Structure 1
Amino acid sequence: MTTILDDQKLSGYSLMQTAIEAVAAFMVARADGKTVSPPRHHVPFDGHGDLVFTIGGVSGDRPLAGFRVYDTFTGNEQTQIVAVWSADDARLKGVVLGERLGAIRTGAIGGVAIRHLSPPDAKVVGLIGSGLQARMQLAAAASVRPIRKAYIYSRDARHRAAFAEDMQAQLGLEVKPVACAKDAAKEADIVICATSSTRPILDMSDLKPGAHINTLGPKTIDAHELGLDVAAAASIIATDSKEQARSYASPFFLQGSRHEQRMVELSDIVAGRTTHRTSSDQTTLFCSVGLAGTEVAVAAAILDSLSGKDA
């Protein structure tokens, strides 16, 4: 019988470490040319929205293949489906329904970036945004660094207060809501931007020297949540998929600049094939765009970890 998981089965944050290791292994395989990760594909349904597909997998001793599909239909809650096959025996390993797997996967990618780009002794996180993505990013940061404190800012004071109370209880960290984005970032070793803002909410003057920044929100020329001076100051600019960044409907916010030419693949950093952080005063930037196939790898790892349990 095919295993089917939903958001309830993936609740909490206990699966984050499993997801991070799955993404790290996928990154090494990507650097070795052993993954399938084409850009996402939009199929429009006129007047309603799109079905968006990401397809990918990994070869090697335990080859995987699969896809994720989600909708942009208006007037309905978004639905996501991830299906995973064991490619060597054509066995359907399982199906995952709901939005939580995607957030875990994105959090895990952010966690891998934090592991390889942030100061090794990073203890303070600044978060801009209080949604599910910000929660997963904080959980991922706490999985790879000795985090002791987090500051949270979002536009709605009730949301940031609820975030602080819940994440403090869930992760055992001190989480403090603050009144502006600058207050969240000024003491942070790691800054996580997970907003829908189309205008920069932070620039370089707001950041602590040597900070690492993960940006998850808008990153197009016409709409970006970070000031371009952050990219200019960054010693390292990494992304999970340069191909996906080039495939944005609206041009990527660094397109055509010298900073785009400096951008490196996170997979090459993970595999030790390109530059990583070498000093405590370096500013580093990770631009998360969504690497196809990682959701398949994470789903497979979670399905394996839950096998034998009441899945």
Structure 2
Amino acid sequence: MRTIRHLSRADAIAAGAMDWDAAIEDVTAALSLLRTGEAGMVAESVMPLGADPRTKAYGLPAFIGGTYDAAGLKWTVHRAEPIGDLPSISSTTIINRLTDGAPVGSVESALVTQVRTAAVTAAAICGLKPNGIKSVALLGAGAHAKTHLDMLLDRYPDLPAITLWNRTWPHLDPLLAKADSSVATKVAACETLAEALRDADVVICCTSSPQPFLDVSTVRAGRLIMQIGFHEVMFETIAATDLVTVDLWGDFAEKSAKSLFQMYRAGQFLAERVAADLPAILLDGWQPPADASLYFSSFGLNVFDIAFAARLLRRADDLNIGTLLTSI
């Protein structure tokens, strides 16, 4: 008989899920291992669960060597909106050892995915805006928006301003509560999208909108538009930017409902137009001209989830955190 470990969300936090330095290190390490063939992914499995295109289940497998020594699967169910007291996204990541296949454990990973996503954003901002940033417009009020705000306040303590916007104004209250008087950054909620965007040199889209709302007027010299959410950016807006960047271009371009990949399948975007991916930005030091208008599409790579979960399970084992289960 063997034992495996399960980490709840609270367990994952206790094991270091909110450690932004470690999270960004995981992103860089995973990309390095992907490049050498010591990590890999296969195409995700997508299962529709209803008429709404946002309501789907995803199976995302990956392996990663090095100190992670993990092969795993993230299983996640997305709903268009939260139901009752349930979140709109529920997710569990299962990890086996890569070297011998032994089961290691599982992690309740909705929060892990949110941190992974925000860590990718942090790394991309650092690479794409090496001269620093002065103002960020954060669009959305859901889980990803909240985690991105946590990241911005932690990683950019001297950031002068963050503007918040969401279609439903009261949903911004929990985000505003995060920025108390001890925070140097001015965090302000805006009634209109135009007001939120006005002075932003980085726009982070974290909504679940099925219809794009960022038009060509959003494009500006030196501005970085980052699409984290579902389908916020119009094709014309992407086409109008000087440089298009992505975390990675892969088989998911044939399936993903993200704006860039819909545009590609509609025959309005050529893969050759991608100026740089995240490995080029983080590992090779690729940088855009300072005055270029930029678009970054964050698909979300399953290898990052496996790396994060493996690190947390290893740390939890050291600290004896989590619930031990019996495995044959």
Same fold (TM over 0.5): yes
Mapping for residues 83-232 of structure 1, pairs under 5 Å = 83-145=94-156, 146-168=158-180, 173-218=185-230, 224-232=231-239
Q: Given the superposition, is the C-alpha separation of residues 65 and 169 from structure 1 closer, same or farther in structure 2, using an over 3 Å criterion?
A: farther
Aligned: 1:240 with 2:270: no
Alpha-carbon distance in 2 for matches of 1:187, 1:142:
18
**C-alpha deviation, 1:247, in angstroms:** 2.5
Query: How big is the shift at 1:113?
Result: 1.6
1:18–1:301 Cα contact (<8 Å) kept: no
Are the aligned partners of 2:227 and 2:297 in contact in 1 as well (CA < 8 Å)? yes
Letter of the structure 2 residue corresponding to residue 5 of structure 1: L
**SS of the counterpart of 2:262?**
coil
Q: Which consecutive unaligned segments of at least 5 residues does structure 2 have?
A: 322-328
Q: Is the 8 A contact 1:210 1:281 kept in 2?
A: yes
Aligned equivalent of 1:70:
76
Secondary structure of the residue aligned to 1:294 is: helix
Deviation (angstroms), 1:82:
0.5
Q: Equivalents in 1 of 2:140, 2:118: separation in Å? A: 14
Provide the residue aligned with 1:9 in structure 2.
11
Between 258-267 and 177-186, the greater mean CA deviation after superposition: 258-267
1:177 Cα shift? 0.5
Q: Which of 28, 42, 49 matches 1:24?
A: 28
Tell me the equivalent position of 2:295.
Answer: 285
State the distance in 2 between where 1:225 and 1:232 align: 14
Change over 3 Å in CA distance of 1:242–1:297 after alignment to 2: same
Counterpart AA for 1:126: A
Which secondary structure state, in structure 1, belongs to the residue aligned with residue 187 of structure 2?
Answer: strand
Are the counterparts in 1 of residues 126 and 132 from structure 2 also a CA contact under 8 Å?
Answer: no
Q: Classify 1:151/1:40 alpha carbon distance in 2 versus 1 (closer, same or farther; 3 Å).
A: same
Letter in 1 for 2:233: L
Alignment deviations for residues 279-308 of structure 1 (CA, whole Å, 9 cap, x no partner): 321222111112121101111223344454
For 1:8, the aligned partner's letter is A
SS of aligned partner of 1:175: strand
Alignment of 1:252 with 2:270, yes or no, is no
In structure 2, the CA distance between the partners of 1:125 and 1:295, relative to structure 1 (3 Å rule), is same
- Asked whether the equivalents of residues 37 and 55 of structure 1 are also in contact (C-alpha less than 8 Å), the reply is yes
Alpha-carbon distance, 1:246 to partner = 2.4
Could you tell me how far apart the structure 2 residues matched to 1:138 and 1:292 are? 22
**What are structure 1's unaligned runs of at least 5 residues?**
219-223
Q: Distance in 2 between matches of 1:306 and 1:149?
A: 36
CA RMSD of aligned residues (A): 3.1
CA distance in 1, matches of 2:48, 2:139: 32
Residue 205 of structure 1: SS of its match in structure 2?
A: helix
> What is the DSSP-based 3-state SS (H/G/I as helix, E as strand, rest coil) of the residue aligned with 2:99?
coil
Q: Does 1:261 align with 2:265?
A: no
Return closer, same or farther for 1:92/1:16 CA change in 2, 3 Å cut-off: farther
Deviation at residue 174 of structure 1 after TM alignment: 2.3
Partner of 1:80: 91
Q: Conserved in 2, the CA contact under 8 Å of 1:240 and 1:266?
A: yes
Counterpart AA for 1:52? Y
Alignment check: 8 A CA contact 2:247 2:300 kept: yes
TM-score computed with the length of structure 1 as normaliser: 0.83
Task: Give the letter for the 1:2 counterpart.
Answer: I
1:253 is paired with a residue whose SS is helix
The alpha carbon displacement at 1:46 in A equals 9.2
Superposed, which structure 2 residues align to 1:300-311 within 5 Å? 300-309=310-319, 311=321
State the partner residue of 1:221: none
Identity of aligned residues (%): 22
- Equivalences, count: 303
Residues 191 and 14 from structure 1, CA distance in 2 versus in 1: closer, same or farther, beyond 3 angstroms? same
SS in 1 for 2:263: coil
Post-superposition offset of 1:309: 3.3
Cα distance in 2 for residues equivalent to 1:242 and 1:91: 31
